[in-house]
Amino acid sequence: MTAKPKVWVARPLFPDVLARLAEHVEVDAEAVERRHTADELRRKLAGVDAAVVGLADRIDEAVLEGHTRLKVVANLGVGFNNLDLDALTRHGILASNTPDVLTESVADFAWALMLAAARRVGASERWLRAGQWPGSHMRFDDWLGLDVHGRTLGILGMGRIGQGIARRAAGFDMNVLYHNRSRLPEMVERECKATLVDKAELLRRSDFLVLVLPFTPENRHAIGAPELARMKPSAVLVNVARGGIVDDAALAAALREGRLGAAGLDVFEGEPQVHPELLMLDNVVLCPHIASASEETRRAMANLAVDNVLAALGFGEMAGKPPTALNPAVLTHRAAHKA
Ligand code: DGY
């Protein structure tokens, strides 16, 4: 009898999802959430056929070197800037991510941040919880925020999530502008009621600017001091993409000095650390990277990662056809090698 393949699951996952894996493979699942060092990753990956990893697990040449057994790395996230795809491909290891299943939840959350930042939900709630309402003689013109309806929404990065955010804007009677590497098909533009503009115009005209672009070396500090200087002083910036796309120090300075109205941030440079100046400001809503964290969506992401692992190891209905492979050419090479 041949031994079952072994799979390492780097984050605690829903037991029923792990049970799907355990029907076919030997599962080594982390029971406690923790950050793995490069050494730990190297050791763990050396002894398994597949791994399900999180966004904090950096999988690069250094941790892959010398591995011959590893066949699949399934990322729990649509963004995969934690994976060195070239290195994985060089080693003949399939990589996958979790697109589509989180699109609508992340789009919902971008709106949660837009509304919360514009209408001062975080700051006013902190004030109330601190017991300051009774006896405060709250004035008619206290806690004034920015209306969302009827404003101009700018979206930087118009993939599936950006389109989801744009579609929701119809209910708020907003004017939607976007900037993207390539223009959307006309039909999609019509559905989203969105108009393509260049980045400078997007910065200049947006009352709300939502960032949904992938984190690549070119996109590092896509919003830094020069870009912030081009935005309206009343504008609200929302980042549900990745830390590092925004220069957090420059953002904190703009918010502190009233050069930007407010911000809603789900991601940070160097998270889980947050720039200390952002923590001091009341005109920013800060969340711990939870845009995809609804019950249904996190389950769907976990299931999709497991689908990819099982399919890549040759199990189940999708055997040999992982549904969301990032480097599917690896499978063709493997097949050619076997023949
Ligand atoms: C992703 O999937 O890339 C998100 O950031 C996870 O919440």
Is pLDDT above 80 for 104?
yes
> What is the number of domains present in the chain?
2
Q: Are residues 76 and 90 in the same domain?
A: yes
Say if CB 258 and CB 280 are below 8 A apart: no
Among this protein's residues, is 242 annotated catalytic?
A: yes
Percent of the chain with pLDDT over 90: 96
In the numeric block, the tokens 């969105």 are attached to 194
What's the rounded Cα separation, in Å, for the pair 227 and 200? 8
CATH label of the domain that carries residue 191: 3.40.50.720
Is pLDDT above 80 for 337?
no
Structure-block tokens of residue 225: 């001091």
Look up the pTM and report it: 0.96
Q: Is 260 in the pocket of ligand 1 (CB under 6 A)?
A: no
Q: Are residues 120 and 32 in the same domain?
A: no
Of 35, 28, 34, 68, the residue nearest 51 (C-alpha): 28
Q: Is 103 in the pocket of ligand 1 (CB under 6 A)?
A: no
Question: What pLDDT score was predicted for residue 2?
Answer: 74
Q: Are residues 51 and 128 in the same domain?
A: no
Q: Are residues 165 and 116 in the same domain?
A: yes
Residue 1 domain-assigned (yes or no): no
* Cα 84 to averaged position of ligand 1 atoms, centre (Å): 17
Which domain does 245 fall in, by range?
A: 103-286
Q: Are residues 309 and 275 in the same domain?
A: no
Question: What pLDDT score was predicted for residue 334?
Answer: 74
Of the residues 11, 53, 55, which should be mutated to test ligand 1's pocket, given the most ligand atoms within 8 Å of the CB?
A: 55
Confidence category of residue 1, pLDDT binned at 50, 70, 90: low
Per-residue pLDDT tens over the stretch 243-281: 999 999 999 999 999 999 999 999 999 999 999 999 999
Is pLDDT above 90 for 22?
yes
Confidence category of residue 319, pLDDT binned at 50, 70, 90: very high
Among this protein's residues, is 151 annotated catalytic?
A: no
Question: What pLDDT score was predicted for residue 339?
Answer: 59
Question: What pLDDT score was predicted for residue 332?
Answer: 85
How many Cα atoms sit within 13 Å of 323 on the Cβ side?
A: 16
Q: Are residues 28 and 138 in the same domain?
A: no
Is pLDDT above 80 for 103?
yes
Say if CB 192 and CB 171 are below 8 A apart: no
Name the catalytic one among 11, 36, 151, 242.
Answer: 242
Question: What pLDDT score was predicted for residue 87?
Answer: 97
Per-residue pLDDT tens over the stretch 178-199: 999 999 999 999 999 999 999 9
Mean of the per-residue pLDDT values for the chain?
96
Question: What pLDDT score was predicted for residue 338?
Answer: 64
Residue 201 domain-assigned (yes or no): yes
Q: 216 or 336: which carries more pLDDT confidence?
A: 216
Residue 307 domain-assigned (yes or no): yes
Question: What pLDDT score was predicted for residue 137?
Answer: 94
Say if CB 244 and CB 215 are below 8 A apart: yes
Is pLDDT above 90 for 98?
yes
Percent of the chain with pLDDT over 70: 99
Say if CB 237 and CB 231 are below 8 A apart: yes
Q: Are residues 56 and 188 in the same domain?
A: no
Residue 71 domain-assigned (yes or no): yes
Per-residue pLDDT tens over the stretch 122-179: 999 999 999 999 999 999 999 999 999 999 999 999 999 999 999 999 999 999 999 9
SS (H, E, C) the chain: CCCCCEEEECCCCCHHHHHHHHCCCEEEECCCCCCCCHHHHHHHHHCCCEEEECCCCCECHHHHCCCCCCCEEEECCCCCCCECHHHHHHCCCEEECCCCCCHHHHHHHHHHHHHHHHCCHHHHHHHHHCCCCCCCCCCCCCCCCCCCCCCEEEEECCCHHHHHHHHHHHHHCCEEEEECCCCCCHHHHHHHCEEECCHHHHHHHCCEEEECCCCCHHHCCCECHHHHHHCCCCCEEEECCCCCCECHHHHHHHHHCCCCCEEEECCCCCCCCCCHHHHHCCCEEECCCCCCCCHHHHHHHHHHHHHHHHHHCCCCCCCCCCCCECCCHHHHHHHHHHC
Is pLDDT above 70 for 204?
yes
In Å, what is the CA distance from 339 to each residue of 89, 252, 287, 335? 20, 58, 51, 6
Structure-block tokens of residue 170: 């119809």
What's the rounded Cα separation, in Å, for the pair 239 and 29? 31
